[in-house]
Amino acid sequence: MNDCIEEGERLRRLAELAIVEAPVDPLMDELCGLACGLLDMPVAFVSILDATQAHIKAHHGYAYVSAPRESTFCDVTIRNDEPLIVPDLLNDPRFAQSPFVVQAPHVRFYAGIPLAVQPGMRVGSLCVLDTKPRELSEEQVACLQSLAGLVIGQIRHHSSRQIMARQALELARRQKMLAQTAQLAGVGGFEIELESGALTASDELLRLLGAADLPTLDDLLACFEGNEDLRTSFDDLRRGSGPVDSEIEMLVADGVPRHVRIYAEVATAASGSNIVGIVQDITGRKKATDELEWLATHDTLTGVANRAAFTRHIETAFRVADETGRRLALIMLDVDRFKAINDTHGHDVGDRVLAVVAERLVSAVGNRGTVARLGGDEFGILVYPVEAESAIAAVAGDILAALREPFVFGKFEVGTHGTLGIALSSLEDTNAPSLFKEADIALYEAKKAGRDGFALFRSEMRTALDARLGRLTTTRLAAVS
């Protein structure tokens, strides 16, 4: 579909949305991170296009900056409602000479989803990039479109919030605040006379805070008991400083925790200056944000940590270990015979096996460590602190015993077990990549020894592996000669 509103009207509506000048939205950054993680892409960003510029409003990976609109891929993306997928930009005459292709960062792959906030009103795009040619499956394109829908929701939410704040303040100045704000679901309004300190609250505000009456500012602040920062903000506002804009967790009369946003500023009218403001229930938005944060740090199939979060756990453990002088251990686990399980019983059963493996690992490790799925049938376990090799051997034994139990699914059972490679940190290990490499070498040795067991990394393992690689290289060179 190529229907689009006239460009002048598009720019007018874009100005009303007030997203070009809006600050960076952390939730949009998280959505870009999800796009990179789910599609295995190095770069994702959200761009908003005005008359001359493409403004980067969120990104993950390479930190692109705003650029002239006509030089960007996104300028082509917003001309249609359909996704723009370019497997190899060098082979597309529209983009082969683009500075982003022929110069750093040398982009080769591009996929963009137009962001239409209403039919024909395309304000920008959600894009993913790679420095090598590639293809996207239909499922991956659908996933990117779903994330674009979340970005559009954030744009609409931002616009709605701006409009709501302006409306609430205007209604307050015209003395119609109470009647109008009651119609806004989850938003209560108030007005405070600066001279007398008397407060007028809307019915919705009283309902939201579970209060019978709020005659003064002190009564309003008492609903947020113990939040001295909020009281200080209102004191500063009275002395002429900027607006109050805070997000607070509170308990209302029914004992249910809620997250609210409080916004207030001084409004000047012919009758004098008053403080006008709103209290907005953002519990639902906070829940959605928490869910997105969970998705960004967890493997959706098993519920354990994903590789990115796991790596951050290891780096944090290294920093603590440097301060305390204690050691940590990384266990890498491969599920034995997993390909045969998939081939024999299908991927549905394979997925169920992985989910049960994760449950058993969490149970076997307990509070001794953190479990993560690194990809495929590979899992990682971080154990910290480790007092002795015997302690990590005990953890490994518990894991192997848990995996030897049959996996029963209805009327049939699946038999498998695991093989472990273990690396203990030392003074030479200062980061996650080095520990991953050592655990991987130990895993190779454990598999070579017959599987269903574990091997603890020793320096001679690296020497032996380097020797084998050297012999293999020599043999290959001799064959070529």
Residue environment code for 370-409, b if the CB has 16+ CB neighbours within 10 A, otherwise e: bbbbbeebbbbbbbbebeeeeebeebbebbbebbeeebee
Tokens 């001084």 locate to 266
* pLDDT tens sequence across 376-433: 999 999 999 888 899 999 999 999 999 999 888 877 888 889 999 999 988 665 678 8
> Which range marks the domain in which residue 179 is found?
174-285
C-beta separation of 135 from 87 below 8 A: yes
Indicate the burial class of 434 (C-beta count within 10 angstroms; 0-12, 13-18, 19 or more).
middle
25 plus 115 within the same structural domain: yes
Give the span between the Cα atoms of 465 and 331, in whole angstroms: 19
Backbone angles phi and psi of 413, in degrees to 5: -130, 155
Does residue 1 belong to any structural domain of this protein?
Answer: no
Among candidate residues 365, 335, 362, the one with its CA nearest the CA of residue 350: 335
Encode pLDDT of 65-94 as tens digits: 788 898 899 999 999 889 999 999 999 999
- pLDDT in the model for residue 480: 56
- Out of 99-108, 138-147, 392-401, 408-417, least confident range: 408-417
Residue 290 is assigned to a structural domain of this protein: no
Burial of 341 (0-12, 13-18, 19+ CB in 10 A): buried
Q: How many separate domains does the chain show?
A: 3
User: Are residue 410 and residue 455 in the same domain, yes or no?
Assistant: yes
Backbone torsion region of residue 97, taken as left when φ is above 0, otherwise alpha when ψ lies between -120 and 50, otherwise beta: alpha
| DSSP state, residue 431 | S
Burial class (CB in 10 A: 0-12, 13-18, 19+), 224: buried
Please compute the mean of the pLDDT values over residues 203-228 and round it to a whole number. 85
CATH number of the domain that 60 lies in?
Answer: 3.30.450.40
Pick from 3-17, 98-112, 393-407: least confident: 3-17
Structure tokens at 321: 């270990």
Same structural domain, 337 and 470: yes
Shared domain for 218 and 142, answered yes or no, is no
**161-213 pLDDT tens trace:** 766 666 666 655 554 544 443 444 478 889 998 888 889 888 888 888 888 88
Question: Alpha-carbon distance 212 to 380, whole Å?
Answer: 54
Same domain, 281 and 367: no
| Kind plus residue range of the DSSP H or E element containing 210 | none
SS3 38: helix
Q: What predicted TM-score, i.e. pTM, was given to this entire model?
A: 0.51
